[in-house]
Amino acid sequence: MKEKLHHIHLVLFIYSIQFGVTIFSLPGILAREFGTNGWIAIFLIFFVVLLGIFLIGACYRLSDGDFLSTLETSLPGFLSSSLFLVLAVIWSLYGCVIGKQYIMIFQMITFPTTSPMLLKLAFAVLTYLLVIKGLYNISKISTIIFFITIWMLVLLVYPFQEMDLSRYTPFFFKDGGHWTRGSISVFASFLGYELSLLFFPFVNKESKFVRSLILGSLVTTLIYGIICVVCFGFFGYTYLKVLLFPFMDLLSNVELPFVQRIENLLFALFFFKVLITVVLYYWGAKECAKRVFKKTNEKRISFVIVTLTYLISFYFQTMDDVNSWLMKLSNIEAAVCFLLPLLGIALLLYRKRKREYYG
């Protein structure tokens, strides 16, 4: 019998999946694409996330407990197998690129003489060891990581004292860039909740599934909002436009008597949060792949996926390569967030009407 995810674990799980290394560049993206008071866009995009959650909730209420089984039984064999392979490729590549982005930044600021692929190898090994543990154990680890990292918000007290209200300006979304591109970039920082489509066999009524998804995304929204509001008040939107990693620059202004360059320590702690996000995408890819290769052991499938994506990561040699592919895959994944539950709803409604028709 599969263990069921507890309500609190599920809330923290969703937050841990969504909240990652994107936060270091998010304030700059908001300033460049939305202009003055661009931090408001976070709360607007949250309503788009809510729409996606409601679609997943509709799938959950209509399904009989397993979303992938619904696709498998409702579609012709070659279509379901093709869909599962496409999802496995998208999710494994997305997890791979997210991991490579973090590793390249981490190597750049902490281990400049170390090969990033050596660090990526260690990251891949940890990813594999967690993927094979299963969803329930991954959720428990994510809860521990939440309590290890959440205290970092307390450090915002230091830059908060130097915020200036005049830096917010009385204008909204003035002097921005490309709103559509900015909206996709901000929405990408919330990605990860769509994997909850695969959680159906792991939840029950006590899990409060839809409410947990909303609360988890709300926690992410509030933390994103707090950080970005402080960044806009500390730097001003004009200066934010030229900063590559504003949140890291913000932390560099925090001075503690017992720690020097605390931003390096905090970025190292983000390793665990990025790891959870990457592990979940690999886990989702494994769940889809095992529907196609039914006679293959799950651990072997996980090993093949992690190994192949590690080899593919050699292709991404520069940060520009990583960011370019991350944007492409984010666009695809944003479409998956809505199209996949819509497909599920259509198939479930068709199956329900067919049953009613034939009695």
Does position 162 have pLDDT exceeding 80, yes or no?
no
Does position 220 have pLDDT exceeding 90, yes or no?
yes
Arithmetic mean of pLDDT over the chain: 86
Mean pLDDT of 271-289: 92
Give the residue with greater pLDDT, 251 vs 80. Answer: 80
Instruction: Pick the most confident of 69-78, 299-308, 345-354.
Output: 299-308
Q: Which residue has the tokens 């696709």?
A: 71
Does position 25 have pLDDT exceeding 60, yes or no?
yes
% pLDDT > 90, the chain: 32
d(CA 98, CA 47): 24
Does position 356 have pLDDT exceeding 70, yes or no?
no
Domains in the chain (CATH in brackets) are 7-358 (1.10.4160.10)
Reading the block at residue 302, the tokens are: 């996980």
Exposed e or buried b per residue across 120-151, where buried means at least 16 C-beta atoms within 10 angstroms of its C-beta: beebbebbbebbbeebeebbbbbbebbeebee
Reading the block at residue 298, the tokens are: 């799950």
Beta carbons within 8 Å of 229's beta carbon, 6+ residues apart = 39
Does position 158 have pLDDT exceeding 80, yes or no?
no
pLDDT of 187: 92
